[in-house]
A = this chain, B = another copy of it.
Amino acid sequence: MRKKRTSRSKYAILGFLASKPRSGYDIKKAIEKSISFFWNESYGQIYPILKALVSEGLAEKLVEDEKSARGKQKYAITELGQEHLQNWIKQAADYGGFRNEVLLKLYFGDHSDVASSINHLNNFIDHHKMLHETFLGFKSTLPSIEGKPVGPLTYMLATLQYGILATKFNVDWAKDTIRLLEGKKTRMLK
């Protein structure tokens, strides 16, 4: 029997409907603003999945007041949808399927020239420095949750913190790797 690998996109979308009713467009924008560092969805996934969610009874199309919004078609999660989402969240996560193209190109570095590898690393540094700054800026706009009970903001902070630290880690490692390739002293040589 084939293993049913129910799409994670389905639950990503359901998760965003769980906090409030949204349109496909809203979902895309919300994902981009909040979790695009570790998750993305394309319209080509979102719109068909929204329809599928309705036909499975996990979401329902809201009837908008005539003049309310532009062509927007908002969807809300149903009770059943919430159950499905909760159930999925509790299942063990899949750690596999990771792919990092920069590391792959670096690993093959000897089949190119050192300058090319260093160039990749410098681009990598720029990219992650930028992200790092963006995340820090975003964090500074969040209200303090100190002493407050665990809530949505707590989870947002946890993943945001991952982004802040991961980008810093990436930059540090890349800098050190450049030093290694330039034949300078580095912590890497134990």
Contacts and interface: CB of A to CB of B under 8 A. Distances in A.
Interface of A: 8, 11-12, 15, 18, 34-35, 37-40, 82, 85-86, 89-90, 92-112, 114, 116-117, 120, 123-124, 127, 139, 144-146, 149-152, 154-159, 161-162, 165-166, 169, 173, 176-177, 180-181, 183, 188-190
A155 B90 contact: no
B89 A181 contact: no
Copies, count: 2
Nearest to A145: B189
A156 B180 CA distance: 12
- Most B CB contacts (10 A, CB to CB) among A89, A139, A154 go to A89
14 contacts: A8-B99, A8-B101, A11-B108, A15-B107, A18-B108, A37-B98, A82-B111, A95-B101, A106-B155, A150-B181, A154-B181, A161-B177, A161-B188, A162-B173
